[in-house]
Structure 1
Amino acid sequence: MKHLLAGDDGAVAAQDRRRDRATLRLSRPIARSFPSRRPEPLRDLDRRIFEDLSKSFGELLDDELYARGGGHSFIDMAGELLDSLDGPLPPLERLLLAYHIFDSCPLEVAGCYIANRYPGAPEVHSVSGQGVGAGFTALRILQAPSRAAPEKGAVLVIDQTTLPFRDRDLHSDPIIDAAVLLTSGDADAMLELESLTEGIALDPGTALRAHAAQDPDLLIIMGRELCKRLRPLSNGDFGTQFVAGAADQLCTSAWAALADHWDPDRRILVADFDPCAERLFEAWLRPVSCW
């Protein structure tokens, strides 16, 4: 499994709105959340791995903190989500895992497990290192080969909460274990990925209001971190064009809200905000019939 870490501005174009390419079509996301259960205590090699990880972050391994986690590994969540789908899984060419907190079971290879569930022997990548931006970058990677022809692929966005040392995003405002599956292909009731944009945004609220004013029918779905950033600035609700993602989800917040508010006949903007880098991530979706 290949691991991709977000780099500097040169590694990811800030804006890409060109339409002279085959576009990626997405079906309605499948979202699942998982009730908390007590994790098994860390033992043997798993424990030694987490002890080394804790030291690398300047922390001591905290068994009590680990025991308060959600208790679901990547394979646990992926397996339950895939088992809930109707019919056989479609063949894939590429599969991407997108997350902030790494797997609670470091000896398991979740990418290989999920790839083996799908026909087509998909190539597997892992995207992390940028908080809520992981899902957006995963879509950018999935979109890249589609300049010539759309690729059949999937992105699995994952929030897992079992960690034996403190993480600001996880422990400042608690989140739940959750997963969202985004799948591309040629099925009915799809939206096209019009463009992906990202860049420094010191005032994301103004940018979003401008989008809404330019297109009164646009639906804007905001992830948790973006909602947190706008809360002290917005003095309440932005209006009926705006939808807030779940406050107890991180990377999955905006994408789960997209599943709840899916409309193949409406242009949709999915957005979230990385408070560390002050970057606004935007995924623009349009009805297939628009172009």
Structure 2
Amino acid sequence: MKNDFLQRLLALHYVYPKPLNKLHLLMQDDLQLERWHELSAQQLSYKLSISSASANRLKTAYAESLQIPFKDVYFKHKITPIPYIHPLYPESLLELIDPPAVLYAKGNMGLLENQNRIAIIGSRKASIYSRNAMELIIPPLVKNDFIVVSGLAKGADAMAHQIAIEFGGSTIAVTGSGFLHPYPKENKELHNIIEENHLVVTEYPPYMLPKRWNFPMRNRIISGLSRGIVVTEAQLKSGTLSTIEHALEHGKDIFAVPGNILSPLSEGPHKLIAEGAKPIWSGWQVLEEYSEISVEK
């Protein structure tokens, strides 16, 4: 990857932090991003389906952004930008309709080279039942070198990361904000631990705040990184099930933990089981789906 193209890509993504399908609108006739800023505001407006005023602002912001030494700045803050053409960029993300144009990462980049990744997700209001279930599901996975992926939200996500760490495994957190704004505050210590010893990734530049609409977008990355998705507890209408929708679109394996039929948090997993998800109560059941892997018991 040429440094000048990387600088242009990072400068553009800094001021226009959109997925790759949006950036491709500019790259169709300008693959190296050398000339797009020469378009008139009207031409740019038409290409990106934005107002002329927004197009003018984008051109101005990009010109200013080009002066920022991104590689040095990100290196100083221990952030590694991983553009879509980087060797470490997970190929599975390119199967998405809207792949991240750039992943910003902190931690052990080597975890991206291990394709045996399982997402474990659930409700922000997860009960002790989720923790108990994960303590049966996660140990066999980490014993067999599977990485636990989750979203670092309150509740089930935080439990999944913590239990993976407690049992000596590795974990990847996918966040919905930039590194200058870790979210939620309750998980700041866990965020720091994962940054130092595991891996945190986000598609948002460091200054991005945790806006509500960032999290459905974050969910597609959790799904895209993972071979399969385990759901512990979730209500019928939840972000957890939006992650499952992404997973189903791309043929991922879906596993669901059966629960108390009187609990609203069991409604999501039970619906998934009724629709064909595999009911599980042990990590060995997950590993059975990947028989090409030598499983250590």
Query: Which category describes the TM-score, using the shorter chain as reference length?
Result: 0.3 to 0.5
The TM-score, its normalising length taken from structure 2, stands at 0.32
Larger proportion of strand: 1
Larger Rg: 2
Q: 1 or 2 for the larger relative contact order (CA 8 Å, sep ≥6)?
A: 1
